[in-house]
Structures are given as C-alpha cells and as structure tokens.
Amino acid sequence: MRYLIIFMLLSINLTNGIGAELKNILPGNKEIDDWQVVDSIRTIKGNQLFDYIDGGAEIFVEYGFVQAVSATYKDNANRQLQAEVYEMADSAASYGAYSFYLNSEGQNANAGQEAQIIDYYCVVRKGNCVIVISIPQADEGLFKSIEKFASAIASKYNQTNAKPELVSKIEKASIALGHIKYIEGSVGLGNIYRFIPGSAIKFSTAVSFFIDKTKCLVFDYNTPEEANNNAAMALQKMQQSNPDVAFTKTDNGFFFTDFKNNQVKALLYKNYLTFTIGKDVEKAKIAEEKIVEVLK
Amino acid sequence: MPMKNIDRRNFLKSSLIAGVGLAVLPSLAKGATKLSGSSLPDIASIAGTNHFQSTIDAIEAIGGINKFIPRGSKVGLLINAPGWWTKPGSYTHTNIVLATLKLLNDAGISDICYLIDPAAEFFSRSPLSEKYTSLISSIKKCSGNYVEVNIPNAVKVKKAKVIKELLQVDKLINIPINKHHSGVLYTGCMKNMMGACSGDTNKSFHQSISKDVEDVEHLSQCIVDINHIRKQDLCITDATEVLKTNGPFGPGEIAKINKVFAGSSPVAMDAYGCTLLDYRPQDIRTNVLASEQGFGNYDLKKYSIFEKE
C-alpha cells in the first residue's frame, strides 16, 4: 500500500510537469509514429539559454525563464522536426512568451485550448510552459505530425491556463481583433511599438492588441498617480529625444504624429495609460472609447 | 515604406537598364554610373528568386570581387549559418555562399577559411552544391581556437575572445542574414561579428539583460565595440527569406524580400538592410552608436545605392 501511494505521488508529479525532469515531457523514439530522436534531448537552464538561442533569449528572460528542453527528430523518410518546451516562471510569463509567437495567419491546432499552427510551426501554451514544434520549411504533409507532437506533449500536463487579468478583461469584452499580446518589459514593447527613446515608458505590465486597424496599448499601474507620473515622464523624454516632432497636450494625455504618419494618442484613465496608434483618427477615437468602456 | 526613402537617394534606377538581361549587369552598372555622373555604387541590391545570380550581380555591380579581395589574399568567411540556426529565415541562404565561393575561385583566390563553421547540413540544403563539391571541400574549417584581444577604442568591451583566424586573414567577407532580433530589433553585418567571438564573450553582452531598456543599449554598444577589432572588407547580406518577427532564433513570420545586397561599409549596409524590415536607420541603436563612434554614417542619403528590381 505504501509503495502504491509513493507511485501515485510520483505519477501526479510527472503528469503535472512540476518537479519532474522536463526532458521526460518530450516523446521518446517511435513514441509518435516512426519519429526518432536525433542525438539526444537537450536541457537548457538559466543563462544557458543565451548559448541555445543567442539573441532570442532576451524576451524569455524578460518574462522569467526557468528551463527548456529541445530535441530534433527524424522519420523514416528522413524528414526533420524540432520540439522545444520552455518552462516559464508563472502562467503570466508563459502567456506573454506564447503571445509573441502568434500572428494573424494562425489557425487553431488540435492540441489544446491555446494552440495555433502557423505556416511551418505549432505553438501551444499549457500551464507555465510554451511548446514549440517546427519544421525546416512549410510542408503540409507534416502538419499532422506537428499536431501530434504538440498534442502528445501538452497532454502530459494537467495545469490550467490562467491568463493575466488585463488580458482576460479585454478578451471578455471581445473588442480585440485577433490575439492579445502581454508585455512585461522594454524588450517586448520594443517589438510591438518603438517609442523613442526606448526607455520612454516605465511599466511592469501592459497589453497590446488591435481594434480594427488601430494598434492599442494599455499600460497597467498600481495607482492613478503612478500612471500620471509615468505619462508625464514619457512625454518629457519623448519631447527631448524628438525635437522635430510636435507633441500636443490634452486634458488627460497627449498626442503626436510618428514618422509613419500614425497618430499616437496617449490617454490617462484611472490607473491606466492607453495609447491608440493609427492613421485613421476617427477609427482610433472609436478604439479609445471601446478601451475606456472595458477599463471602467 | 523603404522604397520611398530610396527615391530620395542617389541611386541608379533599375529602369536605366530595363529590358536587359542580368548576365550583362556589370557593364550596364558601369554604364549607368556614367549616366548618373558618379562612381560605382556603395551598395548594390539585386532582387530576384535566383539568389546565386543575385549575389554575383550585386558584387559585380559594386566593382567585382577583386576590388575588395586581391588575388593571393587569405580570406575569412563569416557566414551566419551555424548549427543552432535551424528555423526558416534564421540562416544565410546556401546559394549566396556558393556564389561567393565561385567568384573567389574564378578570381584565383583559394586560401579561404571559415571563421565560424556552417551547420553540418548547410551545403546539402541546396542542390547546386553538387556542382561545387571540390570547391566546398577546399574551404578550411574554423580552428575553434580563440585568442584574447584588447579593444582600446571600445566603450564597454575592452577585451574579447575571438577566433584566431579573424586576426590572421588578410580579408574578411561577412555574409549575414538580414533578420529581426528581439533585443536590438535588427541583425545584419555589425551584429554578425559576434559569430567570430567566443560564447563566453557573447554571453557577457547579454547577461545583464533585465527589465531595463538600458540593457538593449548595452548589447548595442557591445556589438559596436567588437566591430573595432577589424574591418569588414566585403559584406554580402541575405535578404531573401528572413525572419520578420521572433528573430533571431524563430520560429516567426517570414518576409520574402528576395534581395541580396553587397557593399563594404557595415553601417551603410545595416542602415539599408533595416529599411527592408520597415525600420528607419536611426531606429536601430547599433547604427546610431556606430555612426557616432566613427564607423560610417547611417544616413542613406550619403550613399549611392544601386537597386535592380
């Protein structure tokens, strides 16, 4: 009986993916059709991520990276596939990292609630982990295999997919076109919109999404004062760095036109600083009203 | 859009040579130069799906291989295609390297080595490799031996470990891919110099990364610093199929730009290259810092750019 209890506890550990060796999560030889591991499964911890993905590591580190495993597989036809699992610090971090893989071309994949297949790769979020299955080039003949790998790995976790609060709030209101990106630092922000200087906006969490053709950013602060102070600091820094740009102050924010002729409008609302970025000012105004409605 | 910027530059319009085959581009480029009243272009950018031919045309348009690599030179190749870049759009296209090898061979240059070895399967990615088997096998592998160098003019990286051949070769040919980088936003010629540095040196550029934008600034400065180590004699950038998001590792969105461009100023090349990914040259900190620190100028109006669409 005692051994049975120990076995059950170990099993729970493995299926959760918590405390288990992460490399056990990846399929072994011929576990999926005739796919076999080339060389061995690689485990990457902490700063080793910079050896593994060089400049791609920054964004994972910004969210909070714990460890990753990676393996290359070949089938009998010598076709290749790569499986990677990134374990992040928490579910918000995994959502953030996952959201950066998504684009408008993605289709739902048969590998869980949050699973997308995009051109030549599949990305899945499960609990604190992000699963990425990719092939060297787009090959529809391999899409089923990609999904099988993604599904097999995801099924080894039974963690739930908690989302950052602000993401859930916007998602629930159904105002965003497509997916919502979650940002925790300047590396992520720089990949969405390049404020000049890059250090213009200090923040801890933000989200980015589209409403129609308007790019929207919402920065979340602890208090209205904090939001106000950061908005004032952002305006000051941007004015200093962009002497040729005309910044116009409003009652609760400011706006300017960027080099691509987008109107970039900042609005302070409660403990939030929002930006709407787009060429069509009317559409941007509608987008801003929708955001305010959600944040009420 | 990048093309609008280019309209303002002193470039040689492809319309000048409209209707004429690419095979005779070199002489036409020279002819077109006469029409514009200026010398050979600083950068030649050739569009097309035949990346092998685009590479040859780009190099010929800026004056030919011997303008940059004299006969008898010992040459180091810095190709951005090591084993860890496996995703589409993350590594230099094989045919661009094959075209460079052909031009070197035709010009009587045979003492060539890698400064970082390409992936084991690199040449098997292209069926064209079969035609150049003996040429490929004549390239010396990278020794893997790193030596420490002082960089007196550097701002942050005063010492770096680099592959010893980087200091021994007479001429350096840089063949990066023009792709997105989630940290510094863009990677091209200047960033590719990290390929000649040891893993420990490179990690020190990244390790201070935290939730502070100054760390992107730190990485940008480190990249500029290592470009003090030695001059790039010829740059050939792959902008064929490249990562537009989630670079440099991928997977991410692929932009099929189908261009190869060549020049000898890494700053000018990167300033041009980033516009193909919809950035302005001044948005990329490595361009700005390099310009401020005497490597050239990111202002594309100062360069003549030949574009063949």
Q: How far is CA B113 from the centre of its chain?
A: 17
Give backbone dihedrals phi and psi of A38, rounded to 5 degrees, phi first: -90, 135
Residue A193 near chain B (CB below 8 Å): no
**Structure letter (DSSP) for residue B72:** T
Interface contact flag, A58 B182, Cβ < 8 Å? yes
- Our measurement of the distance from residue B138's CA atom to the centroid of its chain's CA atoms, rounded to an integer in Å, reads 22
pLDDT tens-digit readout, A1-12: 555 554 444 444
Whether the bond between B82 and the residue before it is cis, its omega within 30 degrees of 0, is: no
The nearest CA of chain A is from the CA of B254 a distance in Å of: 9
Q: In this structure, which amino acid lies at residue A170? A: I
Q: Which chain A positions have a beta carbon within 8 Å of B248's beta carbon?
A: 54-56
Residues 6+ apart with CB under 8 A from B148: B159, B160, B161
Q: In order of start, what are the domains of chain A with their CATH numbers?
A: 19-154 (3.40.1000.70), 165-295 (3.40.1000)
Does the beta carbon of B202 lie under 8 angstroms from any beta carbon of chain A? yes
Strand, helix or coil for residue B80: coil
Chain B residue nearest residue A46, CA to CA: B207
Nearest residue on chain B to A60, alpha-carbon basis: B182
3-state helix, strand, coil in chain A (%, to 5): 35, 30, 35
CB-CB neighbors (< 8 A) of A72 in chain B? 86
Is the bond preceding B251 in cis, omega lying within 30 degrees of 0? yes
- B187 interaction partners in chain A (CB closer than 8 Å): 55
Measured between beta carbons, which residues in chain B are less than 8 angstroms from residue A93?
A: none
- Chain B interface, mutation test: which of A100, A187, A230, A244, most B Cβ atoms within 10 Å? A187
Q: In Å, what is the CA distance from A5 to each residue of A284, B2, B28?
A: 59, 65, 81
Q: Over 60: is that where the pLDDT of A147 sits? A: yes
B249 CB within 8 Å of a chain A CB: yes
Query: For chain B, what are the domain ranges?
Result: 2-308
* Residues in B 66-85 with any Cβ partner in A closer than 8 A: 84
Please indicate whether, in this complex, the C-beta atoms of A101 and B209 are within 8 angstroms of each other: no
Contact with chain A for residue B217, Cβ under 8 A: yes
Pick A47's closest partner by Cβ from B184, B207, B213: B207
> How many CB pairs below 8 A link A and B?
111
Average pLDDT rounded to a whole number, residues A124-131: 96
What distance in Å separates residue B181's CA from the closest CA in chain A? 7
- CB contact, 8 Å: A61 with chain B? yes
Q: Which residues pair with A108 in a beta bridge?
A: A116
Query: For residues A274 and A291, is the Cβ–Cβ distance under 8 A?
Result: yes
Q: Is A267 exposed, middle or buried (0-12, 13-18, 19+ CB in 10 A)?
A: buried
pLDDT tens for chain B, 309 residues long, are 333 344 434 444 443 333 233 333 333 333 333 334 458 999 999 999 999 999 999 999 999 999 999 999 999 999 999 998 989 999 999 999 999 999 999 999 999 999 999 999 999 999 999 999 999 999 999 999 999 999 999 999 999 999 999 999 999 999 999 999 988 999 999 999 999 999 889 988 875 544 455 578 889 999 999 999 999 999 999 999 999 999 999 999 999 999 999 999 999 999 999 999 999 999 899 999 999 999 899 999 999 999 999
Please state which architecture CATH assigns to domain B2-308. 3-Layer(aba) Sandwich (3.40)
pTM above 0.90, yes or no: no
- Indicate the residue of A61, A120, A204 with minimum beta-carbon distance to B88: A120
Q: Is A194 an interface residue toward B (CB < 8 Å)?
A: yes
Q: Does residue A70 contact residue B87 with C-beta atoms inside 8 Å?
A: no
Distances (CA, A) of A124 to A148, A151, A171, A172, B279: 12, 9, 18, 21, 30
Looking only at the bridges linking them, the beta strands covering B74-79 and B111-114 are: parallel
Peptide bond into B2 cis (omega under 30): no
pLDDT digits (tens, 9 = 90+) for A54-110: 778 889 999 999 999 999 999 999 999 999 999 999 999 999 999 999 988 889 999
A 74-133 → B contacts, CB under 8 A: 82, 100-101, 103, 105, 118-121, 123, 132
Q: Is B140 at the interface with chain A, CB within 8 A?
A: no
Question: Does residue B246 sit at the A interface (CB-CB below 8 Å)?
Answer: yes
How would you write B210-248 as a 3-class SS string? CCCCHHHHHHHHHHHHHCCCCCCCEEEEEEEEEECCCCC
Residue type, B308: K
Phi, psi of B187 (to 5 degrees): -130, 130
